[in-house]
Structure 1
Amino acid sequence: MNFKFQPWFPVLFFGLFLLLGLAIVDDYGISWDESIQRRHGRVSIDYAAEKLGVDNYTKLEPDWDLEDYQWSNYGMIYQITANLLEQAFGWEQDFYRYYKLRHVMNFLLLWLAMMYFYRTVKLRFPDHEWYPLLGTLALILSPRIFAHGFYNPKDHILLVFYLISVFTLLRFLRHRTWRNLVFHAFATGLALNTRLPALIVPLTTICILGFELLRERKFIGQNLGWLGVYLPLAIAFMVPFFPFLWEDTFTRLIAAFSEMSDFEWDSHVLLFGDNLHALDLPAYYIPAWILITTPIIYLLLMFTGIFATLKNMIGSMRDLRLWRNDDELSDFAQLGLSIGPILVVIILHSTLYNGWRHLHFVYPGLVYLLMIGFDYAQRNWARQQVQRVVFGAALLFTAVQMVRYHPHQNVYFNEAIQGEPLMVRFEMDYWGTGFRDAFLQLADQIPEGEVRSVKCEIWPCKDNFYSLPPEAKAKLRLEGAWHKADYLATNFTYANSRYDRRDLKLHFANPAVEIAPGGHLIIGVYKLKEE
């Protein structure tokens, strides 16, 4: 880059990102899982309060018992923290405030994760001052990841702590001190406390140290010591934030891993117009979602980065190694931590929910490989300036697209997807976050002092109604009976709704509000009564 890098650029970059996020945090709606995850946290707090003998504590009604609770095997560090904060502020009965609190928390965690990603890229490219900022900007300008960073209470939390634990691993592999190992163990414990798929981080750590133990004889004593301390320390950091593991720790931990591997969700998902059973997904399911929801230039650079990393690995294998230096070790680790979970899901035929949000946590690693690809292209291909212009143009174009879609970047598709209405071919706003935007627009249409009733076709619609600002909520009320309601609100979850809207049948011919980011319909409010 010809433009000289200044030391204060990162401070300005992250300062502006913080201000932007806090300015738009209230634009995002409530996702399907937020109320569920809130209850999970409260059940864990009830259990912890009982075990700690906390007096004058009012338990959740109905009286849930964590011992028999269906979701007891999930780490609850985020949910517990959010519940304690809402209680501290006295917002337990204020839907608008306690959901906004969680969205602010989600964004602040995203902001923190971006700083750690910056440090990760800087660790790999210490002599390329612009690379860490470019990589971090590419990660921020990833539409679906950006949107989920405001309201996803579980997959996004895993992404954050997975990213941080990967940074601590790469730092430890470059600078092998006991201090860095302890930090890595702490980050691993936090990651395991979010979602158990983070198990791949300690597995990768152990495999790398174990391989060195076999390959590099000089590391035997050192690596044995680290292997003996790391995993017990990570579990020790995990348990305090995981109340269910306070008793019978190892038996319950094994049960949690077993339940994760046997999890079933007997439902269907939509991809390319095919209604697929979640228990029998094709091998292309996750790769397809990644390919159609990631900007195309990003994909080309990611594949280049994967090629460069594999090329180095093949070169190393001539010496019976997998890497020859610290840079190649970092790339090898990121390749495994990013591609590995995708391969595991395919090989194990894992059950997945809508889209690829369960595997969002691998995406920062793919962006890391994107920067490996960009660096490889700069070093090996002609016309470096053209490559920079193309990458810069891709970042700018994606930013413009995200502004167009705002606040519905969660339904972004790249330019490869064209043709028939997307809502009859793909999962769109399956979590219903767009209901909030629709309700706000509907409220603007209703004269002051008047009230209209709305029939919700699906549950998240109700949570978005409850979380409305008071002035908008005053103009609307929920109605359970179709024949009494003025409007129907839907996110087209059901097939008949999708096709009836496409063909403009029944009430779908009378829209009051339709949310269509990028021209793709995701939410509609339709008149059930003639005015």
Structure 2
Amino acid sequence: MQLRSVLSRRSGFIVWALFLVAGLCSFQNYGISWDEEAQRYAAQISYDYIRGRDNFLLQWDNRDYGVVFELLLLGLEKLLHLRQLSDIYLMRHLVTHLFFLGGAWCFYLLLRRIFQSNFLAVTGLLLLLLHPRIYADSFYNSKDLPFLSMYAICLYVFSRAFDSERLIVFWMIGVATGLLTDIRILGILFFVSVLFFLFGQVCFNIARRKSVRQKLLQLTVYVFSSCLTVYLFWPFLWMHPLDGLLHVWKSMSVFSRWDASVFFNGTFIHASQIPWYYLPVWIGITTPVFYLATGIGGIILVGISLLRKPFACFYDADYRLRLLALITCLGPVLAVIVLHSVVYDAWRQVFFIYPAFVLLSVWALSELILFTRNNRILKSAIVFAVLSPLAFTISSFPLSNVYFNVLAGTRPDEIRHRWEMDYWGLSFRQGLNYILDHGTSSHIIVRYRESPCAATYRIFFGQDRRLELQHVEETEQWIERESGDYFITNYRLFPNDFEQCKGNEIYSFRVANSRVCTIFKLR
């Protein structure tokens, strides 16, 4: 019984440690995503600016991207004296994933503080870690996943700050908020949320004729540490902090530079013309159904509780976190709808709302357990439902980024014909490996359309002299048999079948009953 009790108390750490071991064993298997080379290049430009080598950063089109996490990755690359491209990108994958696990651990601690239940805390941890798309992205997506991870850390420090009221903890939440904003400008939403609660407490104390000195000190410390951190770790802001921040906010709220179309429900739509329901639909079809149902239930229950006690968030820690979770979860989606912001590649740009969504899910589960007589059966059902996506993640490894639930469709290739699948281009690593393993020629020419194929080749296959890649643009070039041995595609922005290659398919990697990457034999 004593061993069982210890295991129960340590179950959160055991689950987290199992994911750590799984990540260490699997990080080498992921391919190269579309933006990884560009992200590393962004860090190099800021690094050259910091070193005083040139001022290209100040004129660069993408200067409005936060680079603090990318500078961390570049610093580790130089500290470890990595030279081989494969070593550099594998290190990036590992560190990005470890940072995600760090955020997940802070989130677990937050759940344990709120609910005082190890079962609910572990359930929330699993809900965060087992979302197939988010888990896969935690290895190679160094833009959206570090932002999600830092948001989870901010939620935890937020809870600690308002509970303890010590100035040093408000300094910590300020630093955390600054780093969050240094990763992506949307961190300002969290900054504004904290200001709202601090100002609310000041007004509440004034109304109750209580002293506001401590609250004003907390507000001052928070604002100062946040602004200082944002400035120190964002080189673009060093010369003109306010003008630079306004430029970044205006640019990222509209982001008109991405002049392309998205594939949505079988139709190509310009990214600036997406329907208002674009994000809700993508979230709905790519989140496990149980996760989705409990999250929506949590939104409804928490919304009702806040309507009943609209001012409780200024004096009750539980209600304060409920409101923050609701703002974090719904605010960015509503902002995209109202501002008509450019959004693409499913909902990855708002992945950061997911920890708050999970927090709301756990609130719903806690209420369900509270009003259920047979908790043992209910808890067993919850564990089964929470663990169910694990089967998909294992069976589709390392392509769980292409997860869809039953709402997206079930017929063969239905999903590919309606929704964008491998928009990151990760499947090319598996495709090129297959060609090398099954090709018998000493010189293999592979034709491709999508640029991640070339990046994957440079980073993981550049030393293999058997492979030669040829980029093609026009449809007629895909099947020029005298010019290549194979044609490989991941169907990015081309969901249709390649009729010119009909009958020449030699292998397809499939996920969710749809082709993700196909190899055609040309000669």
**Alpha-carbon separation, structure 1, partners of 2:416 and 2:55:** 38
**Alpha-carbon separation, structure 2, partners of 1:260 and 1:468:** 33
Q: Output one character per residue of 1:357-397: Cα deviation in whole Å (capped at 9) or x when no partner.
A: 00000001101111111001011245433432221111232
Counterpart of 1:19 in structure 2: which amino acid?
A: V
The alignment covers a number of residue pairs equal to 506
Counterpart check, 1:525 vs 2:515: no
Aligned to 1:404, what secondary structure does the other structure show?
Answer: helix
Counterpart check, 1:487 vs 2:476: no
- Give the Å deviation of 1:64: 7.4
- Give the Å deviation of 1:239: 2.0
Q: Output one character per residue of 1:426-478: Cα deviation in whole Å (capped at 9) or x when no partner.
A: 0100110111111112211124x72311112111111111222577x343221
Aligned to 1:500, what secondary structure does the other structure show?
Answer: coil
Structure 1 segment 39-438 matched on structure 2, within 5 A: 39-50=41-52, 65-92=56-83, 94-126=84-116, 128-217=117-206, 218=210, 220-264=212-256, 265-317=258-310, 320-322=311-313, 325-418=316-409, 419=411, 421-438=414-431
Counterpart of 1:339 in structure 2: which amino acid?
A: L
What percentage of aligned pairs have identical amino acids? 27
Counterpart of 2:175 in structure 1: which amino acid?
A: F
Aligned to 1:512: 506
**Alpha-carbon separation, structure 1, partners of 2:349 and 2:471:** 33
- Give the Å deviation of 1:112: 0.8
Counterpart of 2:81 in structure 1: which amino acid?
A: G
Counterpart of 1:377 in structure 2: which amino acid?
A: L
Q: Measured at CA, do residues 519 and 430 of structure 1 come closer, stay the same or move farther in structure 2, by a change above 3 Å?
A: same
Backbone CA RMSD of aligned residues:
2.0
Q: Output one character per residue of 1:92-125: Cα deviation in whole Å (capped at 9) or x when no partner.
A: 4x22111111111111111111111111111211
Aligned to 1:499, what secondary structure does the other structure show?
Answer: coil
**Alpha-carbon separation, structure 1, partners of 2:249 and 2:387:** 42
**Alpha-carbon separation, structure 2, partners of 1:512 and 1:77:** 44
- Give the Å deviation of 1:404: 1.3
Aligned to 2:8, what secondary structure does the other structure show?
Answer: coil
Q: Output one character per residue of 1:335-374: Cα deviation in whole Å (capped at 9) or x when no partner.
A: 1112111111111111111100000000011011111110
**Alpha-carbon separation, structure 2, partners of 1:248 and 1:280:** 33
Q: Structure 1 stretch 147-156 or stretch 326-335: which is displaced more?
A: 326-335
- Give the Å deviation of 1:257: 1.6
Aligned to 2:344, what secondary structure does the other structure show?
Answer: coil
- Give the Å deviation of 1:185: 0.6
**Alpha-carbon separation, structure 1, partners of 2:10 and 2:370:** 27
- Give the Å deviation of 1:6: 3.4
- Give the Å deviation of 1:323: 6.5
Aligned to 1:10: 12
**Alpha-carbon separation, structure 1, partners of 2:298 and 2:13:** 28
Counterpart of 1:141 in structure 2: which amino acid?
A: L
**Alpha-carbon separation, structure 2, partners of 1:101 and 1:360:** 23
- The unaligned stretches of length 5 or more in structure 1 are 51-58
Q: Report the TM-score, using the length of structure 2 for normalisation.
A: 0.92
Counterpart of 1:303 in structure 2: which amino acid?
A: I
Counterpart of 1:428 in structure 2: which amino acid?
A: M
- Give the Å deviation of 1:279: 0.5
Aligned to 1:455: 447
- Give the Å deviation of 1:416: 2.0
- Give the Å deviation of 1:274: 2.4
**Alpha-carbon separation, structure 2, partners of 1:325 and 1:460:** 50
- Tell me, yes or no, if the aligned pair for 1:488 and 1:525 is still in contact at 8 Å: yes
**Alpha-carbon separation, structure 2, partners of 1:395 and 1:494:** 33
Aligned to 1:137, what secondary structure does the other structure show?
Answer: helix
Q: Output one character per residue of 1:242-280: Cα deviation in whole Å (capped at 9) or x when no partner.
A: 111222222212222222223212211112112222112
**Alpha-carbon separation, structure 1, partners of 2:78 and 2:13:** 33
Counterpart of 2:292 in structure 1: which amino acid?
A: L
Q: Report the TM-score, using the length of structure 1 for normalisation.
A: 0.91
- Tell me, yes or no, if the aligned pair for 1:159 and 1:360 is still in contact at 8 Å: yes
Aligned to 1:55: none
- Give the Å deviation of 1:510: 1.3
Counterpart of 2:489 in structure 1: which amino acid?
A: T
**Alpha-carbon separation, structure 1, partners of 2:465 and 2:391:** 35
**Alpha-carbon separation, structure 2, partners of 1:106 and 1:508:** 40
- Tell me, yes or no, if the aligned pair for 1:313 and 1:323 is still in contact at 8 Å: no
- Tell me, yes or no, if the aligned pair for 1:193 and 1:241 is still in contact at 8 Å: yes
Aligned to 1:462, what secondary structure does the other structure show?
Answer: helix
- Tell me, yes or no, if the aligned pair for 2:123 and 2:386 is still in contact at 8 Å: no
Q: Measured at CA, do residues 506 and 514 of structure 1 come closer, stay the same or move farther in structure 2, by a change above 3 Å?
A: same
Counterpart of 1:388 in structure 2: which amino acid?
A: K
Counterpart of 1:125 in structure 2: which amino acid?
A: F
- Give the Å deviation of 1:322: 4.7
Aligned to 1:429, what secondary structure does the other structure show?
Answer: coil
- Tell me, yes or no, if the aligned pair for 1:166 and 1:201 is still in contact at 8 Å: no
- Give the Å deviation of 1:321: 4.3
Q: Structure 1 stretch 411-420 or stretch 280-289: which is displaced more?
A: 411-420
